Structure formats: structure tokens, C-alpha cells
Amino acid sequence: MSKSLNISYDDIIEDSIGKIISYLKGNYVLSKRAVALLLLQEDEDVLEKVQDTEKSNFIKIRLIIQKTKENYDKPLNYIISLSRQELVQELTEKVVNKEEEKNRNISDVLSRLTMNPITGIPILILVLYFGLYQFVGVFGAGTIVDFLEANVFENFINPWINGLVNSYIPWQWLKDLLANEYGIITLGIRYAIAIILPIVGSFFLIFSIIEDSGYLPRLAMLVDRIFKKIGLSGRAVIPMTLGFGCDTMATMVSRTLETKRERVISTLLLALAIPCSAQLGVILALLSGSPKAMMIWVAFVAFVFLFIGYLTSKILPGDQPSFYMEVPPLRLPKLSNILSKTYTRMQWYLAEVMPLFVLASVLIWFGNLTGLFDIIIDAMGPVMNWIGLPNEAAESFIFGFFRRDFGAAGLYDLQASGALSPRQLVVAAATLTLFVPCVAQFTMMMKERGKKTGIAMAAFIFPFAFAAGYVLNLILVTFGVLS
């Protein structure tokens, strides 16, 4: 195809391009002209590549770039982009015809309302209350989980499996592996299907609707100012809210952030203070009985989020992030996309969670068989007592080490047996929220941010979670709240 589109820059740049091209002897996938332009804009990767290919000539190229830069008081990147923008301007004037905008419609009004702090914050609270609390917490983690737990598993599947296993299998060890208190089916699969799946499913459904409506970028605009205080920009809203779905996924998404500093801060905050959907759902359901307990949990975790974010932004060197984000129009979500998205995510989640839950059951079974489990629980006892919890709570923490959601599900069992007071419940929920990222998230942290950073974060989070739990318990006891 003939390249008759004439893209030219000013004489100085054109001259430099010509000179650079004469030194480019290697083979590049893109045209030499494009390579020269990227060199002038000092693109690091391209500089490196050209240095490797052209060897001694690279010094001459460097010199040309230096000389060219001296002609302008603005970076060449800016100059070059500007000429391109001018060309595009000319082009669009020829091909685009803009009629007067039709009357402003309802989505414009709504869009403005979501971004204005005065109306935006109440809207956010409404979204959180109905979407998260009512639908995920009360309906998903309450109604559906209760139904599956109490009616399906407790009354039907568990007795049936236990009966089957106990009458046909002669060996106690195999009985315990499959059924009874910590069996693969009665614990692992029950947790996955009856507790985690409904919560995650209802969360993903609501979240898909929110995602497709275009609300998230508006939320980003709304909280940009607060996020600036903790070294992040509004852009970080996306990984942060995704974290409420699955922190592992969110850690990966944090690579969309511009600066390394922002990526490190958001990875740490995700690991520390953002509960994942399953954990969140269980905690919402557990605390929904006592609004006061819920408020304390929310306030505490939010405080930790902001406080640690603020501290890290002070410690970590680097500039404030700039914030530029495209705000797409509000759109009516398409049902077909919502359903396939929810379905894909649930499928993915279940596929990921199921083997792990089975593995955890096996490990716990092994620990029980050898008595190792009791030793660990006893060893963790003092730590539990230190933050005001009974020894049995150690179980949830050990579970939580495998996966956040597994730990929360353990807490659900503990609460159902009536072993925890409201105060203990809040402390346990808060500590578990802060406590280690699950294995998958930890692996992702090391992969995305590097081993050293990942391990350093875990080393910080581990003691911090318990210290924070201790402080929270102390405050609650001292002021006699929730006793």
C-alpha cells in the first residue's frame, strides 16, 4: 500500500531524523523513521535496543539527540506529540462534522451527580449499602448461605455422607479423610459450595453491573483527593475495588498504575486492608446482627487502610502521581454480558478454590491424625489470648493462611457454635482481614513486585495484624464497648 500520508515535523526534527536514520544499520521491526522518533523522545527500551544493535554508532546518535534537545525549551516528546496532534486536528476537520449537541440527557445529569462530592458521597453510600451490604452481605452471605448450610448440607448431604462412610468404610482414618468434622466433603467442599460460592456469586453479579455501568471511573474522580493523601491517584480505585472481589486478581491489575511507588503502595494496601469478596461476605453476615460491631469493624479497617497508606506514602520516595483517566459514558449494562461475566468469574473462582480447599482438608486431616494440628493450635493459643480470643479461634487463622476466604468460613463455623462474644467477633474479623494475604495473592505479589518486596510486605503484615488486633481489643475492653 502506498504511504502517501505525509507526516512531517519541523525542520530541526526532520533533519535529526535523517541523521539518525543514516546511523541505523540494524534490522528493526518498525520503520527506521519510527525508531528515530522514539529515540528522539528518549524511550528507554528503544534506546537500550539501539545501543545493543548499533554499538559504537550509538554515541553519535546520543549526540544528535542532545543537540536536538538544545533547540527547544520543552521535552521533545511534547514537541513531537504536538505536531502529531496538529496533523490529526487538520485531518479531523476534513472528515468529522459535528452537529449541535442534542439536548442533555439523563445520563449526563447522573454522571455529574456521581462525581460531585456533595451528591457523590451519598450515592456511594447507597451503592455500598444496597449492593454490598444488602445484596452480598444479607442476601448472599445470609439467606443463601443459611439455606445451603442448614438445609442442604447439615440436614441432607453431611448426614448422608457420614452415614455412608461410617457404614461402608472400616478404617477410621479414611472415614475422617472423607467425612466427619474435617473431611474433604464435609469441610472442604461444604465451605466451597455452601459458603464461598453464594457469596462470591452474588458479589460478582453486583460487581459486573457496577463495572458495566461505568460507575468505577466516576468513583475514581470522586476519591482522587483522598487517595492523593495516601500516595495514590484516583486511578488506583480500580484495583482497590477489584480487590473486594479477589485480591489476587487485583494485585495483578495494579500494574495499570503509572508509577512504581503507586504500584507498591496499592499492593501493600490490597494485602493488608482490603478483604476479598468471600471474606467480606462472611464478615458482613457475621456482624450483621450487631450494627455497632459492624461500624467498629468498618471504621477500624478503613482507619488502618488510610493510616498505613499515609505512612507508606511518607516513607517511599517518589513524586505524587498525576491523574488522568478517561471517563466513559454511563451505559445501561447488557444482561448477556453481566451473566457471562459472572458465570466466567464464578467458574474461574471455583476452579481455583476447589483444589485448594480439598488440599487444606487433607492437610488438616493429616495434622489431626498426627496430632500436629493440636500442637499448632496450642502454640497459637497465647497469641489468640493476647488479642482476647479463645484458643479455638486459632483454627480460623490457620485456615486463613491457606486462603482468606477459608479463614473467614472457619470463623463462620466458630460463630455458629456460639464460641465468640460480639467483641471477640469484631477483633477476630478485623485481625483476619488484616492478616496474611492468601498463598495465591502472596505468589502474585512476588511475581508482580519482585520477591524481595513481596516477602518484606508479608513480614510486615504478619506481626502488624496481631498488633492491630491487640490494640483494637484493648480499646474495646478499656472503653467497655461491646462487652
Report the site for another protein in 128-157 (rule: CB under 8 A).
Answer: none
Rounded to a whole number of angstroms, the CA Rg of the chain reads: 28
Residue among 353, 355, 368, 402 nearest 176 (CA): 368
DSSP secondary structure code for residue 30 in this structure: S
Which residue of 130, 331, 335, 372 would you call a contact of another protein, by CB under 8 A?
331
The C-alpha cell that represents 224 in the structure block: 482522587
Q: What does the alpha-carbon distance between residue 63 and residue 59 come to, in Å, rounded to a whole number?
A: 6
The region of 19-27, 89-97, 193-201, 300-308 touching another protein under the rule CB under 8 A is: 89-97
Does position 29 interact with another protein (CB under 8 A)? The reply is yes
Residue 36 vs 434, nearer CB to another protein: 36
- Min separation Cβ 306 and another protein, Å: 23
Per-residue interface string for the shown chain with another protein, residues 333-362, x marking contact by CB under 8 A: xx--x--xx--xx--x---xx-xx--x---
Which residue of 325, 419, 477, 481 would you call a contact of another protein, by CB under 8 A?
325
Which residue of 328, 335, 372, 379 would you call a contact of another protein, by CB under 8 A?
328
Which residue of 5, 106, 118, 315 would you call a contact of another protein, by CB under 8 A?
5
Phi, psi of 41 (to 5 degrees): -85, 5
Residue type at 326 in one-letter notation: E
Per-residue interface string for the shown chain with another protein, residues 178-217, x marking contact by CB under 8 A: ------------------------------x--xxxx-xx
Q: What does the alpha-carbon distance between residue 40 and residue 27 come to, in Å, rounded to a whole number?
A: 18
Does position 457 interact with another protein (CB under 8 A)? The reply is no
Neighbours of 406 (CB within 10 A): 28
- Min separation Cβ 158 and another protein, Å: 24
Residue 289 vs 328, nearer CB to another protein: 328
The C-alpha cell that represents 8 in the structure block: 512531517
Q: Which 358-417 positions form the footprint of another protein (CB under 8 A)? A: 359, 403
Does position 24 interact with another protein (CB under 8 A)? The reply is no
Q: Which 30-69 positions form the footprint of another protein (CB under 8 A)? A: 30-31, 33-34, 37-38, 41, 43, 45
Total residues belonging to the chain: 483
Which residue of 95, 106, 118, 315 would you call a contact of another protein, by CB under 8 A?
95
Cα–Cα separations (whole angstroms), residue 475 to 368, 433, 458, 478: 36, 18, 26, 5
Phi, psi of 332 (to 5 degrees): -75, 120
Q: Is the Cα dihedral 63, 69, 70, 71 positive or negative?
A: positive
**Total residues at the site for another protein (CB under 8 A)?**
75
Residue 19 vs 33, nearer CB to another protein: 33
Helix 117-126 with 215-229: angle, nearest 10 deg: 110
